[in-house]
């Protein structure tokens, strides 16, 4: 698909116009207007600079092509030697413009809240959910992100019925947003005496963590119940009323937290989860209003979609959205998922650029 050069040229011209306006003494005296112009200029600066270099390289390529017809053999050789490097640079600039043309997702820089729930498969699904939790913890550690458990429901054999945890760090959502969906595992369960391979599943939801300004929760929309903790948890279990259950009355969403000894800490964790769930609901409504053509197939975060299979007998991991298979199951479960993340991001980028072209039509060309 060709780059919308006419549109990019207009953006580059706007960048030059903004630069001139900001140098005007009358504009510089108006701090509010100057700030607005500077913000707009920064948003398009990278694209404008890449386009200017692209235009310069394109001109050099045209000049070199003319020299290839020159009668002077030395000039032809020189033009031919430069052509390969110029065409490689042009291709790189072309790709850079494609990336910069895409609207930035304002959620990309946010921390994330990840919810993992055991699905079909009983205890085996719970054990797999625990392995996915460790996988994301190790990935976060390798990238120097911090993790924080918000809610955790364990089983007797070391599995997890459900875990909700935060991963904190700039760009966490931009990297992990493609992990939402159904993850399947194929292996012989530890509880299976006949040695038959079973298929179990766990669901993963990756949500951008909402800030206080993103979602306002009114006190009269909440019902707060206090109860005693139960299950694994330490000395406070069954001795103090520290567990908290929040019910958001307008939506019916219920959040329970009991991992902390402090009632206040449990309430704060529950509020973080609730705020993020409500933010997700609002984002889904907004995306529906925008229209399906603007939504990426793999960026929609459909939790019912089977996205990846982890096959233990063959040490195979397959991502079904991009038909990518690796035979390094141990490495993947140890947090080495960047290969999938990078290819999913590239695939998503190509889809969004195609959708942008379809929406804008002739204006892009």
Residue 248 is encoded by which pair of tokens? 């958001």
Q: Is residue 161 part of a domain?
A: yes
341, 205: one domain: yes
| pLDDT value of position 290 | 53
| DSSP state letter for 220 | G
- Rg value, the chain, Cα: 26
Structural domain count of the chain: 3
Q: What is this structure's pTM? A: 0.72
3 state SS of 171: coil
199, 226: one domain: no
pLDDT in tens, the chain (365 residues): 667 788 899 999 999 999 999 999 888 888 889 999 998 999 899 999 999 999 999 999 988 888 777 667 777 777 777 888 899 999 999 888 888 888 777 888 899 999 999 998 889 999 999 999 999 999 999 999 999 999 888 887 889 999 999 999 988 999 999 999 999 999 988 767 667 888 999 999 999 988 777 788 888 989 988 887 765 544 445 456 788 889 999 999 998 888 888 888 888 888 889 988 888 888 777 767 655 434 444 544 445 679 999 999 999 999 999 999 999 999 999 999 999 999 999 898 888 777 766 655 544 43
| pLDDT value of position 294 | 40
| pLDDT value of position 50 | 95
Query: Within 13 Å of residue 245, how many CA atoms lie on the same side as its CB?
Result: 11
13, 82: one domain: yes
| pLDDT value of position 236 | 45
Give the integer Cα–Cα distance in Å for 45 and 11. Answer: 9
Q: Is residue 54 part of a domain?
A: yes
Domain that holds residue 275: 219-286
Question: How far apart, in Å, are the Cα atoms of 93 and each of 45, 64, 144?
Answer: 15, 18, 31
Query: Domain ends where: 78, 101, 124?
Result: 101
Give the integer Cα–Cα distance in Å for 281 and 276. Answer: 9
Q: Is residue 26 part of a domain?
A: yes
| pLDDT value of position 158 | 86
| pLDDT value of position 235 | 42
343, 255: one domain: no
Q: Is residue 365 part of a domain?
A: no
Using the structure block, give the residue that is written with the tokens 């980028």: 349
The CATH number given to whatever domain includes residue 199 is 3.30.70.1660
The CATH number given to whatever domain includes residue 232 is 3.30.160.20
| pLDDT value of position 299 | 47
Q: What is the dihedral of CA 44, 45, 50, 51, to 10 degrees?
A: 60
The CATH number given to whatever domain includes residue 63 is 1.20.58
251, 133: one domain: no
Using the structure block, give the residue that is written with the tokens 């307008």: 250
Helix (H) or strand (E) holding 330: helix 329-333
């Amino acid at each position: 698909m060709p780059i919308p050069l006419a549109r990019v040229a207009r953006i580059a011209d706007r960048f030059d116009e903004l630069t001139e306006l900001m140098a005007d003494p009358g504009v510089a005296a108006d701090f509010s207007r100057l700030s607005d112009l500077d913000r707009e200029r920064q948003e398009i600066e990278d694209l404008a600079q890449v386009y200017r270099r692209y235009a310069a390289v394109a001109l050099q390529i045209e000049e070199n092509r003319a020299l290839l017809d020159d009668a002077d053999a030395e000039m032809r050789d020189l033009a031919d030697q430069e052509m390969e490097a110029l065409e490689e640079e042009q291709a790189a600039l072309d790709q850079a413009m494609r990336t910069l043309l895409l609207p930035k997702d304002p959620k990309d820089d946010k921390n994330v809240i990840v919810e993992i729930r055991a699905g079909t498969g009983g205890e085996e699904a719970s054990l797999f959910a625990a392995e996915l939790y460790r996988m994301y913890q190790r990935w976060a550690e390798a990238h120097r992100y911090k993790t924080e458990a918000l809610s955790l429901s364990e089983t007797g054999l070391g599995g997890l019925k459900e875990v909700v945890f935060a991963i904190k760090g700039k760009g966490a959502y931009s990297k992990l947003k493609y992990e939402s969906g159904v993850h399947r595992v194929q292996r012989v369960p530890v509880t299976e005496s006949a040695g038959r391979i079973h298929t179990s599943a766990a669901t993963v939801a990756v949500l951008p963590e909402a800030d206080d300004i993103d979602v306002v929760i009114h006190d009269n929309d909440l019902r707060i119940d206090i109860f005693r903790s139960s299950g694994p948890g330490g000395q406070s279990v069954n001795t103090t009323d520290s567990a908290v259950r929040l019910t958001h009355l307008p939506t019916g969403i219920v959040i329970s937290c009991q991992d902390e000894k402090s009632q206040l800490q449990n309430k704060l964790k529950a509020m973080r989860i609730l705020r993020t769930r409500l933010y997700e609901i609002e984002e889904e409504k907004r995306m529906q209003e925008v229209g399906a053509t603007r939504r990426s197939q793999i960026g929609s975060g459909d939790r019912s979609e089977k996205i990846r299979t982890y096959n233990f007998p063959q040490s195979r991991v397959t991502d079904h959205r991009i038909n990518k298979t690796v035979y390094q199951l141990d490495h993947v479960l140890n947090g080495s998922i960047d290969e999938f993340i990078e290819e999913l991001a590239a695939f998503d980028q190509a889809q969004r650029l195609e959708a942008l072209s379809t929406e804008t039509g002739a204006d892009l060309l």
